[in-house]
C-alpha cells in the first residue's frame, strides 16, 4: 500500500479511475502548491467538505487516522520468558538433578510447582500490561471538521485525506493540514521540531528554494502540534503513520514509561528483602547440611523458600492496583494520565479551583440587562434557546422596539463566535447566553447582516473581545467596532455613553452609576459584562451591562465542607468581580466572616514571600488571570503544601504543570491544557476532584494492605524454616508446600486486596504527608505481630504432631494446612488497617471472597485428591483436624482486630477539635 502511495506522489496526479479515489500529498509538496491546486489533487471541497460516502471510500484505502502499535510479542514467548528468572532456573536444575538421581516423584512435583508459579506470574504481568494499555485509550483526541456542509465535532481518528478541519486556540492539530485560512495563527511545534517559540502560520505557497526542514513550512499545520493563538482552516494531507508525526511516534513507542515513586520504593523494598532472604536461606542450607540433612533436599527447600520469601510480585501488584484504581476513577468521571498522581492525590492539602464550570454549572443564562441610559430589563427563560421574554416595566421588548436594549443585544450577538444549533451550543457558554438573549428578542439574525473585517479574540488575560464589522449594505465604509468583556476593561476604551440614541460625554457620575449597578448585580451572584461600539477603539460609546447567572453545581457545597473538615484548604480563583466572586463563595461555604479575598492586581504587587505569608488566609482570588495562578501555586508550595490546580485555557498550562496535581476540564478545557494536566475531569465537576482524592487515598491504603499481607507471610515462612533448622527439627514444610504458599501469597488472594472498595470514611481523614514511607511504624508492628502469631501457631501444630519424633505425611499436612489457613485469616484482617472485618462486610469485596474460596478449595484438593497428595506429600485430615486448625488460625485475625480497636480508642483520645480554618 505504501509503495502505491509513493507512486501516486511521484506522478502527482491520478493514473487510473481507481486511484482517483485515493489522493495523497506529502507536506513538502503540499506546502509548495497553491491552495486550489492542493484541493484539486486531494479532490477536496474547501467550503462544504467531503460527503459521508466519500469519507467511507477513502477510509477503506487509508484506514483510520491513528498509529498501528507494533505487533505484540506472542503470548507463548511471553510465557516462556518467565522461565528466565534465576530462581525458576535453580528450581529446574533441582528437578533435573532429581531425575539424574532417579527421584522421579520429586522431579514431577517440582516441575508441576514450577508450572503453577510461572503461570501465576505470567497472568499477573499480562494483567498489568493490559491495564496500562487501557489507560492510553481513556481520552481520545477530538476535532472540528466540515462534512456535507455542516460543522461536526468528531474523533480525530475518523479523519481522512481531503477532510476540511477547523482549528481554534488551544486545540491539538488532529492530522497534517495544508492551511487555506489563517487568522493570527501561531502553533507550538516543539513536540515535533524542538523549536521552543511558536511558529507563525500563513496560507501562501512556500517557494521550493526555501522549503527545507519541517519548521520552514509555514502553511502546513502538523499533527500533534498545539494551536497557541488564532484560528484556521485546513485540508487534511496526511493521517496516521503517513503524517510527519509518524516518525516521532515510533521513537515514543521505544521509550519506556518511567516508574512511579511508589513502584520505585517497592522495587527497592523487594531488593532489600531479597538480599536478607538470600542471606537467611544461605544460613539455613548451611546449617541443615552441617546437621547431616541431604544436600539436594536442602538445596530444593532453599530455592523454594527463596521463591516464596522474595516478594517478586510486589512491584507487579502495585502497578496492577494503580492501573485498576485509575480505571475505577474513570467510572467516577476522572481520567488520570500519569500513575504517580494516584499517590499524590492522597497527599493533596490545597485545591485551587476555577469558579465557572467547576464550582458552578457553566449553564449561562442572561437574567438582567441594564442600559447606559438607566433602563433595567428582566429576562426570563433558561437554556440555550429562544424560550423566554425580555421585560421592561412589565412590557415585552422585541426586535428594535427599545433601541437602548437592542443595541446591547446587537453587540452581544455580532461580537460572538458561538453557534446554537438545535438547542446545542457550539462555543463558549457566556457567548451562548448572549445568543439565547438575542433569540428571545428575535435578533439572532443580526449577525448575518454584518461582514467581519477584523477580530481581536477574547483571552483570559485581557478579558475583552472586539470585532470590526461593516454592514452588508455599506461595504464601502471603514466599519464599526463591537466590544464586549469585563466592565473595567471595556470602559477604558469608552469616551461617551448612549442616551436614547445620542452619544453623551462619559462623566464621573455615570461611571459611579454603572459601578453601583455592577455591585448590585455581583452581590446577587451574577457575572457582569459590559458592551460598547464605535468607529475607533479609543473613543467607543458605552451601551450597557448584562447580568448572567451561573448557579452553583449540586453537591459542590457538601463536597467543599467534607474536604475542609478533612484538612484540605479550598481556594477559589475567578476572573469575575469581587462582589460576584464573594457571593458565590459564600453560597458554597468557602467564604465566611473572617475570610479574606485578594484581587489579581494585588497579587501582582506582592512578591512571592509576601504572598506566601498571606495566602493561607485568602479564600477567594478575584479578577485573576492564568499568570496569577502560577504565582499562587508557587506561594503555596513555598509553605510545603501539595497543590491541585484546575484550569481550562491555553494560558493555564504553565500553572497546571507547576502544580503538584494539574487538573484540566474535559468539556471546556483546551487540548493544550489537557496536555499539561495530570488529571482530566470529564464533566468539569468539582465533586469529581473529591472522588479522585477519595479513590487515591483508597488505592494507597489497598497497596499498604497488600504489603502488610505479603511481608507478614514472607517473614513467617522464612522464620518458620529458620527456627526449625536451628532447633534441629525436621523441615516442617517440603519444597512443594512452600511453592504452594508462594502461589497464595503472590496470587489471587493477595491481588484481590488491591481491589478492596474504598472506605467511606477515608475522605474524612487528613491528607497523608508526602514524605511518609509506606512502611510506617504502625504497619511494621502489625506485620511483625501477624508473622509472630503465624510462626508460633504453626510451630505449635508441628511440635504437637511430632510427638513420636518421626516425621510423617500427616505431620507436614497439618503444619502445611495450618500455615495456609493462617494466611487466609491474615488476608482477611489485612483488608483494612483501621476498620473491623464486620464493619467492612465479608462479601463487600467479591474478588477477595472468590480468591479465598478458590485457595481453600485448592488446599482441600491438595489434601484429599490422590494425584495431588503424591505431589505435595500430604494425606487426608479428619473434620476435627480441620475444625481445630480453623479455631487456632483464626487467632491471627482476632489479635489484629483487637489491635485496630485499641488504636481507634487511642486515636479518639488524642484527636484534636475540628478546625475549619483555611490554614495550610
pLDDT tens-digit profile of 571-616?
999 888 888 888 889 988 888 877 889 999 999 999 999 999 999 9
- pLDDT mean over 144-150: 90
Chain centroid offset of residue 543 CA: 44
pLDDT score for 18? 44
Task: Band the pLDDT of 13: cuts 50, 70, 90.
Answer: very low
Give the whole-angstrom CA distance, residue 894 versus residue 636.
Answer: 45
Express each pLDDT in 323-365 by its tens digit.
Answer: 777 778 888 888 887 777 887 888 899 999 888 778 887 778 9
Report the length, in residues, of the chain. 920
Instruction: Report strand pairing: 494-499 vs 540-549.
Output: parallel
Longest Cα separation, the chain:
115
pLDDT over threshold 60, residue 206: yes
Q: How is residue 914 written as a grid cell?
A: 475540628
Instruction: Report strand pairing: 679-681 vs 661-665.
Output: parallel
Express each pLDDT in 65-78 by its tens digit.
Answer: 887 655 556 777 77
**φ, ψ for residue 575, nearest 5 deg:** -90, 0
Torsion-angle region of 198 (φ positive above 0: left; ψ -120 to 50: alpha; else: beta):
beta
pLDDT score for 98? 64
The CA distances from residue 759 to 170, 255, 327, 560, 901, in Å, are: 39, 37, 17, 19, 17
The CA distances from residue 28 to 14, 24, 199, 202, in Å, are: 19, 12, 17, 15
pLDDT score for 647? 83
pLDDT score for 309? 60
Express each pLDDT in 766-821 by its tens digit.
Answer: 888 877 777 788 888 899 999 999 999 999 999 888 877 778 888 889 999 999 99
Cβ atoms of 338 and 754 closer than 8 Å: no
pLDDT over threshold 60, residue 518: yes
Q: How is residue 222 written as a grid cell?
A: 502538523
Q: How is residue 849 written as a grid cell?
A: 471472597
The secondary structure element, H or E, covering residue 663 is: strand 661-665
The SS3 assignment for 606 reads: coil
* Strand blocks (E) in 748-830: none
pLDDT over threshold 50, residue 912: no
pLDDT score for 158? 92
pLDDT score for 377? 95
- pLDDT mean over 397-418: 93
Q: Check the CA dihedral 505-507-512-513 and report its sign.
A: negative
Give the whole-angstrom CA distance, residue 430 versus residue 484.
Answer: 11
The CA distances from residue 13 to 10, 458, 869, in Å, are: 8, 43, 76
pLDDT over threshold 90, residue 442: yes
Give the whole-angstrom CA distance, residue 361 versus residue 207.
Answer: 50
The alpha-helical segments, DSSP class H, found in 239-356 are 245-254, 261-290, 295-309, 314-331, 340-345
Q: How is residue 276 written as a grid cell?
A: 536478607
* Strand blocks (E) in 574-635: 596-599, 618-622
Give the whole-angstrom CA distance, residue 266 versus residue 312.
Answer: 10
pLDDT score for 517? 94
Give the whole-angstrom CA distance, residue 85 versus residue 83.
Answer: 5
pLDDT score for 106? 60
452 vs 5, higher pLDDT: 452
Q: Tell me the pTM.
A: 0.71
pLDDT over threshold 70, residue 304: no
pLDDT score for 236? 93
pLDDT over threshold 80, residue 453: yes
Q: Write out the DSSP string of 478-498.
A: --EEEEEE-HHHHGGGEEEEE
Give the whole-angstrom CA distance, residue 203 versus residue 883.
Answer: 83
Torsion angle of the four alpha carbons 304, 309, 310, 313, in this order, in degrees rounded to the nearest 10: 100
Express each pLDDT in 643-679 by its tens digit.
Answer: 999 887 766 778 888 888 999 888 777 777 777 788 8
DSSP-derived letter for residue 360 is: B
The secondary structure element, H or E, covering residue 93 is: helix 86-100
> Which segment of 80-89, 364-373, 539-548 scores lowest on mean pLDDT?
80-89
pLDDT over threshold 60, residue 748: yes
Best-predicted range by mean pLDDT (76-85, 194-203, 229-238, 415-424): 229-238
The secondary structure element, H or E, covering residue 452 is: strand 450-456
Q: How is residue 899 written as a grid cell?
A: 489491635
Residues marked active site are found at 354
The alpha-helical segments, DSSP class H, found in 480-577 are 487-490, 508-523, 556-565
- pLDDT mean over 843-868: 89
Q: Which residues pair with 224 in a beta bridge?
A: none
CB environment 96-132: b (16+ within 10 A), e (fewer):
ebbeeeebeebbbbbbbbbebbbebbbebbebbeebb
Cβ atoms of 221 and 177 closer than 8 Å: yes
DSSP-derived letter for residue 820 is: H
pLDDT score for 465? 93
Give the whole-angstrom CA distance, residue 839 versus residue 825.
Answer: 16
Cβ atoms of 464 and 486 closer than 8 Å: yes
pLDDT over threshold 80, residue 832: yes
The secondary structure element, H or E, covering residue 526 is: strand 526-534
The CA distances from residue 898 to 193, 286, 580, 829, 895, in Å, are: 62, 40, 53, 11, 5
- pLDDT mean over 525-551: 92
pLDDT score for 254? 47
pLDDT score for 685? 84
pLDDT score for 513? 94
Q: How is residue 734 written as a grid cell?
A: 517440603
Give the whole-angstrom CA distance, residue 662 versus residue 667.
Answer: 16
> Which segment of 103-107, 179-183, 297-301 scores lowest on mean pLDDT?
103-107
- pLDDT mean over 901-918: 60
Best-predicted range by mean pLDDT (159-173, 490-504, 729-743): 490-504
CB atoms under 10 Å from CB of 752, counted, come to: 22
- pLDDT mean over 277-290: 75
Task: Band the pLDDT of 256: cuts 50, 70, 90.
Answer: very low
pLDDT over 90, % of the chain: 30
> Which segment of 360-364, 580-584, 724-728, 876-880 scores lowest on mean pLDDT?
724-728
The SS3 assignment for 223 reads: coil
Mean pLDDT of the chain: 82
> Which segment of 376-390, 433-447, 700-714 scores lowest on mean pLDDT?
700-714
pLDDT over threshold 70, residue 913: no
Give the whole-angstrom CA distance, residue 787 versus residue 822.
Answer: 10
Express each pLDDT in 90-126 by its tens digit.
Answer: 667 767 766 776 656 666 766 776 776 677 667 756 6
pLDDT score for 896? 92
**φ, ψ for residue 199, nearest 5 deg:** -100, 125
Express each pLDDT in 623-634 by its tens digit.
Answer: 888 888 889 999
Give the whole-angstrom CA distance, residue 789 versus residue 794.
Answer: 8
Give the whole-angstrom CA distance, residue 893 versus residue 887.
Answer: 11
Task: Band the pLDDT of 745: cuts 50, 70, 90.
Answer: low
Cβ atoms of 540 and 668 closer than 8 Å: no
Instruction: Report strand pairing: 526-534 vs 540-549.
Output: antiparallel
DSSP-derived letter for residue 50 is: B
pLDDT over threshold 50, residue 5: no
537 vs 241, higher pLDDT: 537
The CA distances from residue 10 to 24, 32, 205, 314, in Å, are: 10, 15, 19, 55
The CA distances from residue 901 to 238, 585, 833, 905, in Å, are: 65, 40, 11, 6
- pLDDT mean over 538-550: 93
pLDDT score for 698? 86
pLDDT over threshold 80, residue 307: no
Torsion-angle region of 622 (φ positive above 0: left; ψ -120 to 50: alpha; else: beta):
beta
Task: Band the pLDDT of 438: cuts 50, 70, 90.
Answer: very high
Cβ atoms of 774 and 268 closer than 8 Å: no
CB environment 12-36: b (16+ within 10 A), e (fewer):
eeeeeeebeebbbbbbbbbbbbebe
Cβ atoms of 668 and 650 closer than 8 Å: no
pLDDT over threshold 50, residue 186: yes
pLDDT score for 598? 93
Amino acid at each position: 500500500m505504501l509503495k502505491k502511495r509513493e507512486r501516486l506522489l511521484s506522478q502527482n496526479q491520478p493514473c487510473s479511475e481507481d486511484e482517483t479515489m485515493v489522493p495523497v500529498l506529502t507536506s513538502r509538496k503540499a506546502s509548495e502548491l497553491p491552495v486550489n491546486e492542493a484541493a484539486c489533487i486531494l479532490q477536496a471541497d474547501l467550503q462544504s467538505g467531503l460527503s459521508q460516502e466519500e469519507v467511507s471510500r477513502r477510509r477503506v484505502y487509508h484506514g483510520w487516522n491513528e498509529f498501528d502499535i507494533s505487533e505484540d510479542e506472542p503470548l507463548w514467548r511471553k510465557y516462556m520468558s518467565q522461565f528466565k528468572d534465576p530462581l525458576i532456573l535453580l528450581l529446574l536444575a533441582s528437578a533435573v538433578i532429581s531425575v539424574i538421581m532417579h527421584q522421579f516423584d520429586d522431579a514431577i512435583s517440582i516441575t508441576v510447582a514450577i508450572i503453577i508459579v510461572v503461570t501465576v506470574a505470567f497472568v499477573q504481568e499480562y494483567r498489568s500490561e493490559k491495564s496500562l494499555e487501557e489507560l492510553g485509550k481513556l481520552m481520545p483526541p477530538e476535532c472540528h471538521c466540515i462534512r456535507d456542509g455542516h460543522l461536526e465535532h468528531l474523533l480525530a481518528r475518523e479523519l481522512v485525506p481531503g477532510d476540511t478541519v477547523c482549528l481554534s486556540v488551544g486545540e491539538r492539530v488532529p492530522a497534517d493540514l495544508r492551511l487555506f485560512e489563517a487568522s493570527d495563527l501561531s502553533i507550538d511545534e516543539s513536540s515535533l521540531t524542538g523549536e521552543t517559540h511558536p511558529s507563525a502560520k500563513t496560507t501562501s505557497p512556500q517557494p521550493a528554494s526555501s522549503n527545507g526542514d519541517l519548521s520552514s513550512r509555514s502553511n502546513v499545520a502538523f499533527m500533534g502540534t498545539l494551536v497557541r493563538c488564532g484560528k484556521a482552516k485546513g485540508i487534511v494531507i496526511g493521517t496516521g503513520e503517513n503524517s510527519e508525526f509518524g516518525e516521532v511516534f515510533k521513537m515514543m513507542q521505544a521509550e519506556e514509561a518511567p516508574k512511579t515513586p511508589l513502584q520505585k520504593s517497592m522495587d527497592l523494598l523487594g531488593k532489600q528483602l531479597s538480599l536478607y532472604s538470600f542471606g537467611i536461606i544461605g544460613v539455613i542450607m548451611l546449617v541443615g547440611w552441617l546437621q547431616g540433612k541431604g544436600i539436594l533436599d536442602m538445596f530444593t527447600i532453599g530455592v523454594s523458600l527463596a521463591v516464596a520469601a522474595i516478594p517478586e510480585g510486589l512491584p507487579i501488584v502495585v502497578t496492577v492496583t494503580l492501573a485498576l484504581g485509575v480505571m475505577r476513577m474513570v467510572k467516577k468521571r476522572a481520567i488520570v494520565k500519569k500513575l504517580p498522581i494516584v499517590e499524590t492525590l492522597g497527599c493533596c492539602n490545597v485545591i485551587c479551583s476555577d469558579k465557572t464550570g467547576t464550582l458552578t454549572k457553566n449553564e449561562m443564562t442572561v437574567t438582567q440587562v441594564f442600559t447606559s441610559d438607566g433602563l433595567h430589563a428582566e429576562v426570563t427563560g433558561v437554556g440555550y434557546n429562544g424560550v423566554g421574554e425580555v421585560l421592561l416595566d412589565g412590557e415585552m421588548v422585541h426586535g428594535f422596539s427599545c433601541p437602548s436594549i437592542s443595541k446591547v443585544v446587537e453587540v452581544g450577538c455580532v461580537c460572538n463566535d458561538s453557534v446554537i444549533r438545535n438547542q446545542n451550543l457550539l462555543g463558549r457558554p457566556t457567548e451562548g447566553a448572549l445568543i439565547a438573549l438575542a433569540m428571545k428578542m428575535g435578533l439572532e439574525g443580526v449577525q448575518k447582516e454584518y461582514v467581519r473585517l477584523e477580530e481581536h479574540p477574547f483571552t483570559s488575560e485581557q478579558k475583552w473581545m472586539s470585532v470590526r464589522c461593516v454592514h452588508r449594505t455599506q461595504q464601502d465604509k471603514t466599519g464599526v467596532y463591537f466590544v464586549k468583556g469585563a466592565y473595567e476593561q471595556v470602559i477604558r476604551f469608552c469616551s461617551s455613553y448612549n442616551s436614547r440614541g445620542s452619544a453623551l460625554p462619559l462623566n464621573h457620575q455615570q461611571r459611579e452609576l454603572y459601578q453601583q449597578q455592577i455591585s448590585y448585580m455581583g452581590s446577587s451572584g451574577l457575572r457582569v459584562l459590559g458592551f460598547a461600539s464605535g468607529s475607533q477603539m479609543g473613543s467607543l460609546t458605552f451601551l450597557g451591562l448584562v447580568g448572567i447567572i451561573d448557579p452553583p453545581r449540586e453537591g459542590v457545597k457538601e463536597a467543599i465542607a467534607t474536604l475542609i473538615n478533612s484538612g484540605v484548604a479550598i481556594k477559589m480563583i475567578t476572573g469575575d468581580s469581587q462582589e460576584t466572586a464573594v457571593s458565590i463563595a459564600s453560597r458554597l461555604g468557602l467564604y465566611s466572616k473572617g475570610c479574606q479575598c485578594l484581587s489579581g492586581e494585588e497579587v501582582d504587587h506582592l512578591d512571592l514571600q509576601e504572598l506566601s505569608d498571606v495566602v493561607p488566609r485568602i479564600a477567594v482570588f478575584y479578577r485573576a488571570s492564568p499568570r496569577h495562578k502560577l504565582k499562587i501555586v508557587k506561594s503555596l508550595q513555598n509553605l510545603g503544601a501539595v497543590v491541585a490546580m484546575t484550569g481550562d485555557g491555553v494560558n493555564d498550562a504553565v500553572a497546571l504543570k507547576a502544580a503538584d496535581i494539574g487538573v484540566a476540564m474535559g468539556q471546556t478545557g483546551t487540548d493544550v491544557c489537557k496536555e499539561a494536566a495530570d488529571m482530566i475531569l470529564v464533566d468539569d465537576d468539582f465533586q469529581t476532584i473529591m472522588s479522585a482524592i477519595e479513590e487515591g487515598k483508597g488505592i494507597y491504603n489497598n497497596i499498604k494492605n497488600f504489603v502488610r499481607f505479603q511481608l507478614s507471610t514472607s517473614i513467617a515462612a522464612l522464620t518458620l524454616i529458620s527456627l526449625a533448622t536451628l532447633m534441629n527439627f525436621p523441615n516442617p514444610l517440603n519444597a512443594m508446600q512452600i511453592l504452594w504458599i508462594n502461589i497464595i501469597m503472590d496470587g489471587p488472594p493477595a491481588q484481590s486486596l488491591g481491589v478492596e472498595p474504598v472506605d467511606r470514611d477515608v475522605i474524612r481523614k487528613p491528607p497523608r504527608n508526602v514524605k511518609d514511607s509506606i512502611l510506617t511504624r504502625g504497619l511494621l508492628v502489625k506485620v511483625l505481630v501477624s508473622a509472630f502469631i503465624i510462626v508460633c501457631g504453626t510451630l505449635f501444630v508441628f511440635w504437637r504432631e511430632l510427638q513420636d519424633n518421626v516425621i510423617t505425611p500427616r505431620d507436614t499436612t497439618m503444619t502445611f494446612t495450618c500455615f495456609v489457613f493462617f494466611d487466609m485469616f491474615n488476608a482477611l484482617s489485612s483488608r483494612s488497617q483501621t476498620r473491623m472485618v464486620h464493619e467492612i462486610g465479608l462479601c463487600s469485596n467479591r474478588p477477595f471472597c472468590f480468591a479465598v474460596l478458590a485457595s481453600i478449595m485448592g488446599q482441600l484438593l491438595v489434601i484429599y485428591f490422590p494425584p495431588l497428595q503424591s505431589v505435595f506429600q500430604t494425606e487426608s485430615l479428619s473434620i476435627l483436624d480441620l475444625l481445630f486448625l480453623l479455631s487456632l488460625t483464626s487467632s491471627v485475625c482476632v489479635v489484629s482486630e483487637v489491635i485496630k480497636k485499641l488504636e481507634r480508642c487511642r486515636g479518639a483520645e488524642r484527636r484534636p477539635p475540628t478546625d475549619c480554618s483555611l490554614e495550610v
